[in-house]
Amino acid sequence: MSFRDSVRRAGGIAFVGLVAAIVAAPAAAVADPNKVLRAAFPTAETGFDPVRISDLYSNTVNEAIFDRLLTYDYLARPAKLVPMAVEGMPEVSDNGRTYVFRLRKGIYFTPDPAFKEHRRELVAEDFVYSFKRFMDPKNRSPWAFMIEGKIEGLDELAEAAKKSGRFDYDAKVPGMQAVDRYTLKFRLKHTDFNFLYITAHVPFGAMAREVVEAYGDDVQAHPVGSGPYILKQWTRAAKIVLEANPGYRGFTWDFAVSDPAWDDALVAAMRGKIMPQIGRVEISIIDEDQSRWLAFNQKELDYLALPATFRPQVFDADNTLKSEWKDQGVSLFRAIEPDIGYTYFNFRDPLVGGFTREKIALRRAIIMGYNLDDEIRVVRKFQAVPAEMPIPVGVVGHDPSYRSINRYDPGLANRLLDHFGYNKGKDGYRTLPDGKPLVVHQASGSSAIERDFNELWQKSMDAIGIRMVFDIGKFSDHLKASKACQLMMWGAAWTADYPDGDNFMQLLYGPNTGQSNNGCYESKAFDAFYKKATRLPNSPERDFLFLEMTRQMEVDGAWSLHTSRERNQLIRPWVKGYKKHPILHGEFVYMDLEPRT
């Protein structure tokens, strides 16, 4: 099979040649400053330097600010790659090792003092510089794993920087060249059937070197891109305000229907509009479900991902929207998210880590002792489905027939602990095989849903005699400790960066420890399966390797795998053009607002 055919199969991507779904508009964007979208994040952002941040909400903002080489068609399902900052899809040769992108002319960064009053055009060298930043050791990028070992000469440049203490941004990289002002050429060490996904991933948007050098470490607060929005205001962990970029080139809304039941009305309302239409986006950080719910009820938010707690107030017994909401013109968009929720164990922790039989038994017992049914019923309020494998529904590599071996079974968990010498004391709690106290720590936050999870974990662990303590702290602090392999256990979620199983299995790949592998899981068997899979196109052989990886991580007790969430998005009637994308998160770029009622 040819490379083009094999990649077309992967993730359902259809290559569209030189015809972009995002069509350059004949005039600059005409966003209306009086159209103000009000939204909420349930968790605070961490900053806006694409290279250094990895959380969903910071990336959602960056998605609207920075141009990538490629992006996704807004309506196409399965997800389909289309050009963004380039004229058309890249020229691909040498069995997927060489990629040539041709940038559109006349794309400009938003004005900034770093440019010294010059109008700064986006050029090929900006992407070369931006990709290099991921490999600069001082940036400690959580996304470096996506290009490590892939681009000819880039790893060697990073190694030289580790030895010298300075990354040479002026050095030429054989596998990443600005052939001319608007032509960018990549040469990979090996065939990589997912490389185009990387070029569409939000963190790989283009930054200007002048901006990074002007602001230094404070570039987190100065995201200067060439996309449809600019950061107008940022009050950390409280409010983010975006305004439409007045110099943005614009594009014409011209997407084809993929799901007539939802898309027909959406297309009728949006087709032909020059985007963006919304002039201002106000995002409030509201971590409590109750507060977000009240804000939506009081029409202070224009759309809301329904918190599970309030599901009974929205749906009838037949799982349809109650008449009181229909009467208000509220619509509902429902989908299973391409995500997984899980709790990881730190494999470098002296208590729960390691591969000895008694450590594996302890982790497996904790996993079997966790009441997943109660999570779905009590915490999620039925807004989730069990995750049977690390690759979720809707992502290439998911096997709908696969069933996890780690089922909820507190009886078996108790017997397993007894067998390996984790004996119960007079207080009903277990000790280590050497008789010392067994106390398991799990990192957590202080939000309502995190308190619900803590209560469920406490109840589940009490049932098998394990004392669990919750270390309450800020998400940013936990994330930093996690990257350093310093947390014993922590609950996490991962949403697809691209629609392929590799994006989820890399979370368990040993060399990604300190980046995306927060459990510091380093299994030689798993890593061997993973490396073999990366050399294969989407195929039954690769799917089998995904199953082998799944079984290996289950046997080792790497994660307590929980759920994939069901999204129930409530949308006020004046919001037009909304459809949750499986990969993109800044849907407001494609939306419009009518006068509020």
Q: What is the pLDDT of residue 390?
A: 98
Taking only the tens place, the pLDDT of each residue in 120-130 is 999 999 999 99
How confident is the model over 196-225, as a mean pLDDT? Answer: 98
Contact call for residues 502 and 484 (beta carbons, < 8 A): no
Q: Residue 17 pLDDT > 50, yes or no?
A: no
Q: What percent of the chain has pLDDT over 70?
A: 95
Domain 3-264+572-593: give its CATH superfamily.
Answer: Periplasmic binding protein-like II (3.40.190.10)
Provide the pLDDT confidence category of residue 535 given band limits of 50, 70 and 90: confident
Q: What is the pLDDT of residue 30?
A: 79
The pairing of beta strand 274-275 with beta strand 251-252:
antiparallel
Give the full edge-to-edge strand order of the sheet including 559-561: 467-472, 439-444, 489-495, 339-345, 559-561
Taking only the tens place, the pLDDT of each residue in 31-76 is 999 999 999 999 999 999 999 999 999 999 999 999 999 999 999 9
Answer positive or negative: Cα dihedral of 361, 524, 516, 218: positive
Answer positive or negative: Cα dihedral of 48, 53, 59, 63: positive
Torsion of CA 197, 202, 203, 207, to 10 degrees: 110
322: Cα separation from own chain's centroid: 32
Q: What is the pLDDT of residue 310?
A: 94
Q: What is the pLDDT of residue 28?
A: 58
Contact call for residues 134 and 149 (beta carbons, < 8 A): no
Q: Residue 8 pLDDT > 90, yes or no?
A: no
Taking the CA of residue 351 as centre, how many other CA atoms within 13 Å lie in the half-sphere pointing to its CB?
19
Q: What is the pLDDT of residue 394?
A: 86
User: Residue ranges of the domains in the chain?
Assistant: 3-264+572-593, 339-565
Q: How many CB atoms lie within 10 A of CB 264?
A: 11
Measure the CA–CA gap between 207 and 225, rounded to whole angstroms: 6
How confident is the model over 395-409, as a mean pLDDT? Answer: 96
Of 387, 378, 303, the closest CA to residue 570 belongs to: 303
Measure the CA–CA gap between 314 and 297, rounded to whole angstroms: 11
Q: What is the pLDDT of residue 130?
A: 98
Q: Residue 99 pLDDT > 80, yes or no?
A: yes
The pairing of beta strand 32-41 with beta strand 278-285:
parallel
Is residue 139 helix, strand or coil?
A: helix
Q: Residue 10 pLDDT > 70, yes or no?
A: no
Measure the CA–CA gap between 62 and 425, rounded to whole angstroms: 52
Same fold? 3-264+572-593, 339-565: no
Provide the pLDDT confidence category of residue 1 given band limits of 50, 70 and 90: very low
Q: What is the pLDDT of residue 448?
A: 86
Taking the CA of residue 39 as centre, how many other CA atoms within 13 Å lie in the half-sphere pointing to its CB?
24
Q: How many CB atoms lie within 10 A of CB 319?
A: 9
Question: What is the architecture of the domain spanning 339-565?
Answer: Roll (3.10)
What's the token pair of residue 360? 């594996």
Q: Which stretches within 85-144 are classed as H helix?
A: 124-135
Taking the CA of residue 397 as centre, how many other CA atoms within 13 Å lie in the half-sphere pointing to its CB?
30
What's the token pair of residue 583? 């990969």
User: CB neighbours of 82 closer than 8 A, spacing ≥ 6?
Assistant: 16, 20, 21, 22, 70, 71, 72, 73, 89
3-state SS record for 200-268: HCHHHCCCCHHHHHHHHHHHHHCCCCCCCEEEEEEECCCEEEEEECCCCCCEECCCCCCCHHHHHHHHH
Measure the CA–CA gap between 347 and 554, rounded to whole angstroms: 14
Q: Residue 100 pLDDT > 90, yes or no?
A: yes
Tokens 């990549």 sit at which residue? 186
Q: Which stretches within 271-409 are classed as H helix?
A: 289-297, 323-327, 357-369, 372-374
Q: Which residue has the higher pLDDT, 308 or 521?
A: 521
What's the token pair of residue 320? 């349809």
Taking only the tens place, the pLDDT of each residue in 314-368 is 999 999 999 999 999 999 999 999 999 999 999 999 999 999 999 999 999 999 9
